[in-house]
């Protein structure tokens, strides 16, 4: 594996989950794989989980880690070609990525969308140019449209906690005061659609009208605007806000109550609750659920280590 940017970069979800759980059971069994290798983590946006879990995963494999907070500590980046750099940008991605590739054997990049121009964000121009010019394998630490390490950790968590052979997994939209990217729900949908194809789960998405995700991420997935209908009999409920894809980057008015509570989840008495974090309590998700034994959010964040370690091990073993 030379690139991990989406579910399309892996063969089978089941194999990846099995590999990750084997690493969880025996974290230091492959320390020689990363010996004398360097991982560079490049952040253009804030991160708690991705930063720490990926560093820990690399350390478990014997790697050295360099972290670059490009947004705060790096030169302002230019990504467009063919322009005279007489504005505020100081360094072109062509040189910046290539230089980082000189110092690292593997690179990870986090870059959020601007949510101003859909075409620009969904072209993944910055991420693709970074891959093109760095010259070493790249892991997405969340891009404009996807967050694959999060989705892998999510399916690991579902497989660990499932009580039935084919659990019902629901992705439900949640309210928020800010416009958030579609990267996590896009990616979650893409991974769950593949897991459904592999016969591992049943998957349903529910959201208010106007919050339809791009079709490329929801192929073969049942979608309903009726949250109660979607939640009925659910085994896992994945809570996430996202801004509109159609009316790009907008927070649309929603009249009904969409925040998941003990009351709204009564229709799914066995359901566990998931969220990628960070979460805004009692806005996106009721604190009563977060603080209950129905919440898997901490286990899910913990599994980010094994997701990252499984991906790094594959890249280093290629």
Binding site for ligand CP (CB under 6 A): 47-50, 142, 150, 276-277
Rounded to a whole number of angstroms, the minimum distance from the CB of residue 278 to ligand CP is 6
Residue 297's Cβ-count burial label (10 Å; 0-12, 13-18, 19+) is buried
Residue 300 CB, shortest distance to ligand CP, in Å, is: 9
CB of 150 to ligand CP, least distance (A): 5
Residue 59 CA: distances (Å) to CA of 69, 154, 158, 175 = 19, 22, 25, 37
Burial class (CB in 10 A: 0-12, 13-18, 19+), 181: buried
Give 99-166 as a DSSP string.
HHHHH-SEEEEE----SS-HHHHHTTHHHHHHHHHH-S-EEES--SS--HHHHHHHHHHHHHH--SSS
Among 174, 171, 173, 178, CA closest to 196 = 171
Cβ at position 78, least distance to ligand CP in Å:
25
Nearer to ligand CP among residue 51 and residue 207 (C-beta): 51
CB of 183 to ligand CP, least distance (A): 9
Q: Please state the closest distance from residue 48 (CB atom) to ligand CP, in A.
A: 4
**Omega of the bond leading into 11 within 30 degrees of 0 (cis):** no
User: Is residue 277 within 8 Å of 49, Cβ to Cβ?
Assistant: yes
Q: For residue 107, which of 68, 144, 73, 57 has the smallest C-alpha distance?
A: 68
Cβ proximity to ligand CP: between 3 and 48 the closer is 48
- Quote the least distance from Cβ 303 to ligand CP, whole Å: 11
CA distances, 134 to each of 83, 108, 298 (Å): 21, 11, 34
Nearer to ligand CP by Cβ, of 47 and 186: the residue is 47
Q: Which is nearer to ligand CP, 268 or 276 (CB)?
A: 276
Cβ atoms within 10 Å of 120's Cβ, excluding its own:
14
Considering Cα of 273, then 277, then 280, then 283, what sign does the dihedral take?
negative
> With contact defined as beta carbons under 8 Å apart, do 193 and 220 qualify?
yes
Nearer to ligand CP among residue 49 and residue 129 (C-beta) = 49
Q: Which is nearer to ligand CP, 48 or 99 (CB)?
A: 48
**Cβ atoms of 186 and 146 closer than 8 Å:** yes
Cβ closer to ligand CP: 49 or 146? 49
Taking the C-alpha atoms of residue 268 and residue 281, their distance in angstroms, rounded to an integer, is: 21
Minimum distance from CB of 49 to ligand CP (Å)? 4
Tell me whether residue 33 or residue 276 sits nearer to ligand CP (CB atom). Answer: 276
């Amino acid at each position: 594996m030379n690139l991990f940017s989406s579910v399309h970069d892996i063969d089978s979800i089941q194999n990846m989950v099995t590999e990750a759980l084997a690493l969880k059971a025996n974290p230091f069994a492959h320390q020689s794989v990363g010996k004398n290798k360097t991982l560079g983590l490049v952040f253009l946006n804030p991160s708690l989980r991705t930063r720490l879990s990926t560093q820990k995963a690399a350390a478990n494999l014997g790697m050295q880690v360099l972290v670059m907070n490009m947004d705060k500590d790096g030169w302002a980046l230019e990504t467009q070609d063919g322009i005279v750099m007489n504005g505020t940008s100081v360094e072109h991605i062509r040189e910046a990525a290539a230089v980082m590739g000189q110092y690292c054997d593997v690179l990870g990049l986090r870059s959020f969308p601007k949510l101003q121009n859909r075409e620009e964000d969904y072209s993944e121009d910055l991420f693709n140019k970074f891959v093109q010019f760095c010259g070493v394998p790249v892991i997405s630490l969340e891009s404009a449209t996807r967050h694959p390490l999060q989705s892998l950790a999510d399916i690991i968590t579902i497989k660990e906690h499932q009580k039935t052979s084919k659990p019902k997994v629901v992705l439900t939209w949640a309210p928020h005061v800010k416009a958030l990217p579609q990267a996590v729900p896009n990616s979650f949908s893409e991974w769950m659609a593949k897991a459904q194809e592999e016969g591992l789960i049943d998957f349903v998405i529910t959201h208010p009208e106007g919050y339809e995700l791009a079709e490329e991420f929801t192929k073969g997935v049942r979608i309903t605007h009726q949250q109660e209908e979607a939640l009925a009999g659910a085994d896992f409920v994945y809570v996430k806000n996202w801004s509109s894809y159609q009316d790009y980057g907008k927070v649309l008015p929603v009249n009904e109550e969409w925040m998941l509570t003990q009351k709204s989840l009564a229709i799914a008495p066995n359901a566990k609750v998931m969220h990628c974090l960070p979460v805004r309590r009692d806005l996106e998700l009721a604190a009563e659920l977060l603080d209950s034994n129905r919440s898997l959010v901490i286990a899910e964040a913990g599994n980010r280590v094994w997701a990252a370690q499984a991906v790094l091990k594959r890249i280093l073993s290629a």
